[in-house]
Structure 1
Amino acid sequence: MKIKQFFHRSLAVVLSTALSFGLASQVQAKADSLRIGYQKNGPLLLLKNSGDLDKRLAQQGVEVKWTEFTAGPPLLEALNVESIDFGTTGGTPPIFAQAAKTDLVYVAYDLPAPSSEAIIVPKDSPARTVADLKGKKVAFNKGSSAHYLVIKSLEEAGLKYDDIEPVFLSPSDARAAFERGSIDAWAIWDPFFAVAEEQLQPRILRNGVDQYSFYLSSRNYVTENPDIIEIVIDELNKVGKWIEANPEQASKEFNKFLGLSYEISHKTVTRRNYGTQFLTDEIVATQQKIADVFTDLELIPVKVNIKDVVWTPAK
């Protein structure tokens, strides 16, 4: 009898310990930090500057860490190697990242802002239309929203992608090449576009095309921390509404980070559209059409299915 009682007590201790460990593991599974990748544009930048998200998440014991990126592709590479948990890019980078097997998920989107990017040429360039770029060197960041802008613009001008010489350059390298005259045209987005407009007075051949901007996370992070992601989207939506209601003040806040002229900041702020929302079937279908363009041109190695990597919050 004593042996049986000892066995039962021991088993109870083991089960209690295991249960406690399991509960502790579940608690530990919730992140104590959120590492955000951002660029020098959009509501995420102003959210960083305001500190509102940091304060709100700090109440839940979550520390926000911010890392700046110059473009979407390197930001998503950081997401792939688990250096960040959340970030924002244009519509094209996540397509390339998904094709490269990055374990990302689309979390939310912002409305297109076609006037915030363009294909530009030097002011003394003989090129007057996109059709004049046949046989010319056109610079853009590979896998960026500018990449799709070039493809779509060529199609509308009756040209093929092979009709130009693509030059894959980061924004800073493309700016230098543009000033040297070693490229004929440059596809670029704000704030780099706004800076070039003010400082270089280029000619605009074509403004942007409708592409949504997206907020993305790693599948593991959003699965384990959906409440944190929902808070981020809520704060982004608040910031977007504030920007729309206060464009002048938003431009001043934006300029605190950029350190450029008020005119550049004002352009960057006012030619975007705001209102961060979770994805709908219509948005997914639109993004799928863009992905299929890259597949058809064999610019990505596999066909991707956008709806496979879309996260939506629980109802």
Structure 2
Amino acid sequence: MLLRQLTGLMAGLVVAVAAALPAHADELRIGFQKSSFNLIVLKSRGVLEQRLGAGTSVKWVEFPAGPQMLEALNAGSVDFGMTGDTPPLFAQAAGTKLVYVGYEPAKPQAAAILVAKDASIKKLADLKGKRIALQKGSSSHALLLRALDKAGLKWEDIQPAYLAPADARAAFERGAVDAWVIWDPYYASAEKALNPRVLATAEGLTSNQTFYLASREYAQRNKALLNTVFEELTRNSEFMEQHPSDTAKLLSAYVGLDQATFEQVLARHPNYRVGWLDDKTVLEQQKLADRFATQGLIPHPVNVADIVVRH
């Protein structure tokens, strides 16, 4: 009798302990891009795999830009990923099942509108009638829209050339476009190699926010796992802040750009700490969503808070 009672008690304790432990998925598939500096360094150091242990394998999948990554996320090809502020607005307007789960501090100095050094374009108003390269649906889309607003121009006043970063750079180099709206590390690389003139950064125009997203089902089922990932990303950011030279070397080895380029990138935006979204960040994103809706760049207004999952 006593043995049966003890056995039942132990079984109950095992169940209670198991319930208290974080529930981890068997696999975490992370989408990233060449501007996902925190994720790239985290991948290179292998610390997330060490933290999760054998119970959860980590698969890393690279994409050329945010819109492509969100397509894969919506299709279920990856579980979690990082992108700029604009792709989630297009995704929400399209009715995807994606949700915001985390964000990094704003980085307005890490994106810019570039023109050739000897270009006749001297101010934002001079963009009227010009052919401008940008990745459609990316953070550069938001930056250009806000820049046109500041200059008193409409979207119809310019000729957008929707190009992925590598194609946009090639077009910019050969003079096929008059301006290029781009983010780091492509921005810093162009500064080093092409010596362009910076017509404007995102400072005072858009926060150039970074968000982490997942499917709603995955986010709600794996909050403990995502919280662990955020903790490791924040610790990784602290490593990056304390070891800028080593970080630049890691990024250079992975991305293929020189170390000096990444030293410049890190100097512009040293803090990549990650947390769950707060009200201020949601409000800032809502303002951007409203502007896209009034411009007709997304088919209808969206309520950002509807797709925010909090811890």
Q: Same fold (TM over 0.5)?
A: yes
Give the distance between the partners of 1:152 and 1:236, measured in 2 at CA. Answer: 30
Give the distance between the partners of 1:271 and 1:37, measured in 2 at CA. Answer: 24
Q: Give the structure 1 partner of residue 78 of structure 2.
A: 84
Number of matched residues?
284
**Which one-letter code corresponds to 1:51 in the other structure?**
G
Corresponding residue to 2:256 among 249, 255, 259:
259
Q: Give the structure 2 partner of residue 282 of structure 1.
A: 280
Are 1:114 and 2:108 counterparts?
A: yes
Q: Give the structure 2 partner of residue 235 of structure 1.
A: 232
**Which one-letter code corresponds to 1:295 in the other structure?**
A
Q: Give the structure 1 partner of residue 17 of structure 2.
A: none
Normalised by the size of structure 1, how large is the TM-score?
0.87
**Which one-letter code corresponds to 1:77 in the other structure?**
E
Give the distance between the partners of 1:309 and 1:239, measured in 2 at CA. Answer: 27
Q: How does 1:215-226 map to 2 (within 5 A)?
A: 215-226=212-223
Q: How does 1:179-258 map to 2 (within 5 A)?
A: 179-208=173-202, 209-258=206-255
Runs of 4+ deviating beyond 2 Å: none
C-alpha spacing 1:274/1:30, structure 2 compared with 1 (3 Å): closer
Q: How does 1:97-176 map to 2 (within 5 A)?
A: 97-176=91-170
Deviation at 1:297, TM superposition (A): 0.5
Q: Give the structure 2 partner of residue 268 of structure 1.
A: 265
Q: Deviations over 1:152-189 (max 9, x none)?
A: 11111222222111111111111111112111100000
Are 1:292 and 2:290 counterparts?
A: yes
Q: What is the DSSP-based 3-state SS (H/G/I as helix, E as strand, rest coil) of the residue aligned with 1:300?
A: coil
Q: What is the DSSP-based 3-state SS (H/G/I as helix, E as strand, rest coil) of the residue aligned with 2:152?
A: coil
Give the distance between the partners of 1:163 and 1:82, measured in 2 at CA. Answer: 38
Q: What is the DSSP-based 3-state SS (H/G/I as helix, E as strand, rest coil) of the residue aligned with 1:308?
A: helix
Q: Which has the larger radius of gyration?
A: 1
Q: Give the structure 2 partner of residue 47 of structure 1.
A: 42
Give the distance between the partners of 2:140 and 2:67, measured in 1 at CA. Answer: 12
Is the deviation greater in 150-159 or in 239-248? 239-248
Is the deviation greater in 258-267 or in 169-178? 258-267
Contact 1:30-1:224 within 8 A present in 2 as well? no
Q: What is the DSSP-based 3-state SS (H/G/I as helix, E as strand, rest coil) of the residue aligned with 1:40?
A: coil
Q: Give the structure 2 partner of residue 306 of structure 1.
A: 304
Q: What is the DSSP-based 3-state SS (H/G/I as helix, E as strand, rest coil) of the residue aligned with 1:118?
A: strand
Give the distance between the partners of 2:304 and 2:261, measured in 1 at CA. Answer: 35
Deviation at 1:70, TM superposition (A): 1.5
Contact 1:139-1:183 within 8 A present in 2 as well? yes
Give the distance between the partners of 2:208 and 2:197, measured in 1 at CA. Answer: 22
Give the distance between the partners of 1:87 and 1:271, measured in 2 at CA. Answer: 23
Q: What is the DSSP-based 3-state SS (H/G/I as helix, E as strand, rest coil) of the residue aligned with 1:139?
A: strand
Q: Deviations over 1:275-312 (max 9, x none)?
A: 21211111111100000000000111121111111111
Contact 2:24-2:224 within 8 A present in 1 as well? no
Q: Give the structure 2 partner of residue 7 of structure 1.
A: none
**Which one-letter code corresponds to 1:54 in the other structure?**
E
Normalised by the size of structure 2, how large is the TM-score?
0.88
**Which one-letter code corresponds to 2:196 in the other structure?**
P
Q: Give the structure 2 partner of residue 57 of structure 1.
A: 52
Deviation at 1:30, TM superposition (A): 5.7
Q: What is the DSSP-based 3-state SS (H/G/I as helix, E as strand, rest coil) of the residue aligned with 1:254?
A: helix
